[in-house]
């Protein structure tokens, strides 16, 4: 199965995934891949980290560009995505696929991936495998993602676009 969690920036996609992962783990599933928890300073989002769901290791992933946090990185709108963070996240996804987890989470596929960069090689590997994959994508990029991977059928399991307080569930 290829699952999508969609919503705008800040709508709670990562938190929704955490709860879903906990439920899957409680029922005996092995879950790998990455989550991108937000990093906040004084209540303002300044970036995100990449959390390896198999090892629990977490590294800086994206920061607002004016922080100049990374030696090397890709600029995407107001953020710079760490080259090291990308490699770490890619490895985490690839390891989850190779170790045949029950579910591989990819939080998230963004503009960089849709240009063929960032985590795209790992995303392609995961989708081509027989493993269940859950992809987090912003509402505005969902169509582009589905067009890019038109060979695959995606099921939206959580659409947080309409309301940030409760997930609207509907399948297509």
Q: What is the pLDDT along the chain (172 residues), one digit of tens a residue?
A: 999 999 998 899 999 999 999 999 999 999 999 999 999 989 888 999 999 999 999 999 999 988 777 878 888 888 999 999 999 999 999 999 999 899 999 999 999 999 999 999 999 999 999 999 999 999 999 999 999 999 999 999 999 987 544 444 443 3
Peptide bond into 27 cis (omega under 30): no
Neighbours of 62 (CB within 10 A): 28
Assigned CATH for 2-159? 3.40.50.300
Residue ranges covered by each domain of the chain = 2-159
β-pair partners for 103:
31, 132
By CB atoms closer than 10 A (0-12, 13-18, 19+), residue 130 is: exposed
Quote the pTM value: 0.90
């Amino acid at each position: 199965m290829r699952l999508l969690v969609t919503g705008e920036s800040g709508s709670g996609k990562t938190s929704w995934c955490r709860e879903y992962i906990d439920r899957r783990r409680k029922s005996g599933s092995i879950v790998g891949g990455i989550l991108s928890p937000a990093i906040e300073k004084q209540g303002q989002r300044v970036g995100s980290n990449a959390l390896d769901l198999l090892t629990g290791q977490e590294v800086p992933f994206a920061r607002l560009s004016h922080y100049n946090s990374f030696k090397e990185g890709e600029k995407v709108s107001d953020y710079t995505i760490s080259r090291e963070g990308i490699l770490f996240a890619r490895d985490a996804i690839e390891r989850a696929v190779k170790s045949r987890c029950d579910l591989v989470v990819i939080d998230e596929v963004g503009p960089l991936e849709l240009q063929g960069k960032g985590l795209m090689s790992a995303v392609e590997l995961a989708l081509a495998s027989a493993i269940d994959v859950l992809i987090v994508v912003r509402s505005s990029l969902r169509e582009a993602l589905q067009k890019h991977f038109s060979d695959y059928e995606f099921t939206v399991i959580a659409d947080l676009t309409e309301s940030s307080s409760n997930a609207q569930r509907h399948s297509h």
